[in-house]
Amino acid sequence: MKEGMIAVNFTLPDATGKPITLSAFQGKTVILVFYPGDFTAVCTKQLCDYRDKLLLPKERYQVLGINANSEESHKKFQEEYSLPYPLLSDPEKKVCKQFGMTTFGMVSRGVVIIDPEGKIRKMEKVLPILRPSAERIREMLRDEGLL
């Protein structure tokens, strides 16, 4: 997948096992957050930063966290840190690979912004030790006229 393309539809289970389908959010700006693992220092700071500072209206935006961890791991992680958005389990890394968010077989850290019509407007992959901040996501949304 590349910027400018229509995002491939996918369905992955959330922390409760409920299937979540990307196309269900058509009409909203979707922010896919790919991160290497639950309960790791950088990932925890990253997702808590979004919880505390991203603060986008749910009527217009949907954040979805994605990595290869199990639904059970996601459930514990989500509960422990009161994360207000779904965490999706991609154990085979199929969706991660489709969006170019793997490196050497591991899930990479990155953000994909999909506009309300399903078009990929921005893709940003970063080194594992770095993390896109809530402010960086807001900047990406502003740059694309989505904020």
* Residue numbers annotated as active site: 43
Neighbours of 98 (CB within 10 A): 14
Is the distance from CB of 66 to CB of 100 less than 8 angstroms?
no
The answer to whether 113 touches 122, Cβ cutoff 8 Å, is yes
Cβ within 8 Å of residue 54, ≥6 positions away: 63, 134, 137, 138
Which tokens sit at 137? Answer: 């996501």
